[in-house]
Amino acid sequence: MAFQPFLFDPGEMNRSLFGQGTTSGRITIGIGDLVLGNDDGRLDAMKAHGYGRQLRLKSITAIDPQAVPYNQAITRFIGIVDHIVADADEITLVIRDELKRLDRLFQESSFLGTSTGPTGIEGDEALEAVRKPSCWGAGLRNVPLTLVNFSRECFGWSFDKDGNPRRTDGITALRNGGATYALSLVDHVDQATLFGASVTSGTADTCLAESLLRTAGSVSAGLTADIDVEPEVTNLALRSAEFGDAAWTKVRATITADAALAPDGLTTADKLVEDSTAAATHVIDQAVAITPAAAVAGSVYLLAGERTRARVSITGTSGSAHTDVDLVAGTVSAGTASGAYSGAIAEIEPVGDGWYRVSILATTAADSAISLQIELADGAGAISYDGDGVSGAFIRGAMLIEGAAVQPYIPTEGVAVTRRASATAARVAEAMLKEHGLLIRPASLLELDRKAPYVVGIYLNGDETILQAVSRALTSVGAHLIDDELSDVWTYQVGRFEAPSGVPVKDFGSWEPIDDSAAAPELLATDDEGRGVPAWKTTLYYSPNQEVQNKDALTGSSLDEREKWSRESLSVDTAGDTAVLAKHPNAPSAEHRTFLAYKADAETELARRAAFDKVEKRRVRLPVHVDRSLRTDLDGRQVNLGNHVRFDWGRYGVDSTKPLVVIGVSEERAQELVFFDVINADHW
């Protein structure tokens, strides 16, 4: 490798899915360095530089590097310079990957302690400088409520990073020292109305729009509640991804099933193909029943084919609303309402690989049924044109809901499906990062939602970092968060650690010794509990109790039973596999602590994790020489953490028949080596 004389060592970088050598648990920040020569002191001024900014490392591999222009240099790494250390001869830049941006406080606001009278929700002196809490997802159990105004007996439980109250969908139970406290079921539109209300003695009124609650009567112990932050949403569109089904009416158009790769990574996208009718529209639609005068939102994923323009509409007998989309430019026209419909809004979201989610929102009139329509358009954007019988565009994931906001996609088959779509692990992680202005690659969110559509409930009430908060959501479903490494568009992506399937991103071929290097593959133990030895039993904890209480904090009868309930997370476990114990007498039991909200989801996730826990893991450290194609798959993307690869060592059962999962990547740039930490689990 050749580099500028003052670049003593292009350094190294170490990144992992979770912790080094582990297959689950805490998500960690990648670390590396880069060494600059400074024996003449010309770089001393770097001590005064600002840090935390982006660094890009590019390399040129060629016989004559001077003949290769900079714009053809290969980007090897994008990261953050964290700080520097130095001696008389060298300066070392200590580098972190993009996860370092998440190593800061999630909750930036604290109570001011100024609400000592009948106004405000900043608490009294006792709350001054205490971090404001926040709630995420749904199914949160026994969340402690904070007394934010003593004079008004007002409690709060969820605030955004700037200190503003966040919305809550509902409270399913309220307790005073573990004993039931009555909810009046009176919900007020805002804080001012709540403060001006007369609350019935011994009950509580709410203002869910601002996550506030007022009591009337003595609260003798800690007030706690079971909380759903995100609302339930129903996708009314049946067969939402099967456009060839009879649920969808085709007018001068046909459907070719499974014609393209969908945004969630499966080859399940259909193609909407026009017929050869002249001067006509080419449409697919579906009619559903709605509440009259409801606000509605219709959406569909679209990818350009021969036709690059389309119209998405919601229509009824008394009006309609539509938007026109250009799938090359990635733009939509302003929402247009006609007839008795009003408030039309159009939205478009790029989700990667040319796909867009196009949405139209409007308030309907007296219609009790409406249709979601997708119409092809010609190159000029006209929806009435001469069809050629072969041209079309690709479609996937239609959704029609009652509500004034677009919600994450909910797949349906023969019946409408109701789900807290914004409360899944993927969507909670997305919302947490969005609150801090950060993005996740949308396609990876769709894929994780498809694989693990499980609801999580998370309560934050201290000095948690952004990474710690997001990790609670993702690790609940065995998922990871990694920086997008070389992308300038999406900062992060999510994925789930799981069994390899499909075509691997790269086949490294058979092992051959690397010239001038002693580096060779190594078989290593994992750093999980048991070091890779199978677990004979798996336990998964879910629905953690957010406020641990003992008898002194509880009131009423049945204290022993309620103390047990208030102390423990709920759990599900496997019966245990005696065959594993027979082979491995010291086999460990595996435990996974999650923030999953519901038992059914916990049982599904338990079955998946137990299948992995009870098999032997082989961890191999694989050295590979760097060249232009080393870490590139067929689509030009780098081999990244979580990817599936193949490698034929011919030793220890690691051969070309067993795909491997990349759990770690370490670069030693001066030696032009990349070490892939991979996992092979037989019978996984």
**Is the confidence at residue 682, as pLDDT, over 70?**
no
**Is the confidence at residue 514, as pLDDT, over 70?**
no
Where does 87-181 show beta strands of DSSP type E? 90-96, 134-137, 140-144, 146-149, 154-156, 170-176, 179-180
pLDDT at 3: 47
**Is the confidence at residue 630, as pLDDT, over 70?**
no
560 burial level (CB within 10 Å; 0-12, 13-18, 19+): exposed
What rounded mean pLDDT belongs to the chain?
Answer: 90
Whether 394 and 259 have beta carbons less than 8 Å apart is answered as: yes
pLDDT at 63: 47
Bridge-based pairing state of the strands 182-187 and 203-207: parallel
Mean local confidence (pLDDT), 72-100? 87
The residue ranking higher by pLDDT, 52 or 123, is 123
**CA dist., res. 495 & res. 328, Å (int):** 28
pLDDT (tens digit per residue) in 87-111: 999 999 999 998 999 999 999 999 9
**CA dist., res. 461 & res. 146, Å (int):** 10
Where do we find the tokens 């027979």?
582
**Dihedrals phi, psi of 41, to nearest 5 degrees:** 75, 5
**CA dist., res. 246 & res. 522, Å (int):** 56
pLDDT at 371: 98
Query: What one-letter code names the amino acid at 421?
Result: A
**CA dist., res. 132 & res. 126, Å (int):** 13
Sorting pLDDT into bands at 50, 70 and 90, what band is 341? very high
Where do we find the tokens 């003449």?
40
**CA dist., res. 1 & res. 672, Å (int):** 7
**CA dist., res. 589 & res. 682, Å (int):** 19
Burial letters 637-658, b for 16+ CB under 10 A, else e? ebbbbbbbbbbebeeeebeeeb
pLDDT at 138: 98
What own/partner pairs with CB < 8 Å and gap ≥ 24 does 629-636 have?
630/674, 631/506, 631/674, 632/506, 633/505, 633/506
Q: Which helix (H) or strand (E) holds 401?
A: strand 392-402
Sorting pLDDT into bands at 50, 70 and 90, what band is 663? very high
Where do we find the tokens 């966040």?
166
Sorting pLDDT into bands at 50, 70 and 90, what band is 64? low
**CA dist., res. 145 & res. 132, Å (int):** 11
pLDDT at 629: 40
The residue ranking higher by pLDDT, 219 or 205, is 205
**Is the confidence at residue 426, as pLDDT, over 50?**
yes
pLDDT (tens digit per residue) in 573-617: 988 899 999 999 999 999 999 999 999 999 999 999 999 999 888
Predicted TM-score of the model (pTM): 0.92
**Is the confidence at residue 14, as pLDDT, over 50?**
yes
Two tokens, residue 232: 């339930």
pLDDT at 567: 65
Using only the alpha carbons of the chain, give its radius of gyration. 28
Q: Which helix (H) or strand (E) holds 610?
A: helix 599-613
pLDDT at 483: 85
Query: What one-letter code names the amino acid at 347?
Result: E
Cβ partners under 8 Å of residue 493, min gap 6: 440, 441, 444, 481, 482, 484
Two tokens, residue 472: 């609670």
pLDDT at 487: 61
pLDDT at 518: 63
pLDDT at 631: 45
pLDDT at 633: 38
In this prediction, what percent of the chain has a pLDDT beyond 70?
90
pLDDT (tens digit per residue) in 128-141: 999 999 999 999 99
Cβ partners under 8 Å of residue 210, min gap 6: 156, 165, 167, 190, 191, 194
pLDDT at 174: 95
Two tokens, residue 159: 């605030």
Two tokens, residue 388: 């050629």
The residue ranking higher by pLDDT, 528 or 324, is 324
Sorting pLDDT into bands at 50, 70 and 90, what band is 628? very low
pLDDT at 2: 43
Whether 245 and 255 have beta carbons less than 8 Å apart is answered as: no
Sorting pLDDT into bands at 50, 70 and 90, what band is 485? low
Mean local confidence (pLDDT), 616-641? 67
Two tokens, residue 323: 């938007």
Sorting pLDDT into bands at 50, 70 and 90, what band is 439? very high
Task: Put residue 163 in one of left, alpha, beta given phi > 0 → left and psi -120 to 50 → alpha.
Answer: left
In this prediction, what percent of the chain has a pLDDT beyond 90?
70
Sorting pLDDT into bands at 50, 70 and 90, what band is 433? very high
pLDDT (tens digit per residue) in 245-282: 999 999 999 999 999 999 988 899 999 999 999 999 99
254 burial level (CB within 10 Å; 0-12, 13-18, 19+): middle
**CA dist., res. 234 & res. 35, Å (int):** 56
Where do we find the tokens 């490294």?
508
H-only helix segments in 498-598: 559-567, 578-583
pLDDT at 488: 58
**Is the confidence at residue 635, as pLDDT, over 50?**
no
**CA dist., res. 329 & res. 213, Å (int):** 47
112 burial level (CB within 10 Å; 0-12, 13-18, 19+): middle
Q: What is the DSSP string of 340-362?
A: T-EEEEEEEEEEETTEEEEEEEE
Task: Put residue 253 in one of left, alpha, beta given phi > 0 → left and psi -120 to 50 → alpha.
Answer: beta
**CA dist., res. 230 & res. 208, Å (int):** 11
Two tokens, residue 567: 């102390």
Nearest partner of 294 among 234, 350, 353, judged by Cα: 234
pLDDT at 519: 80
Q: Which helix (H) or strand (E) holds 653?
A: none
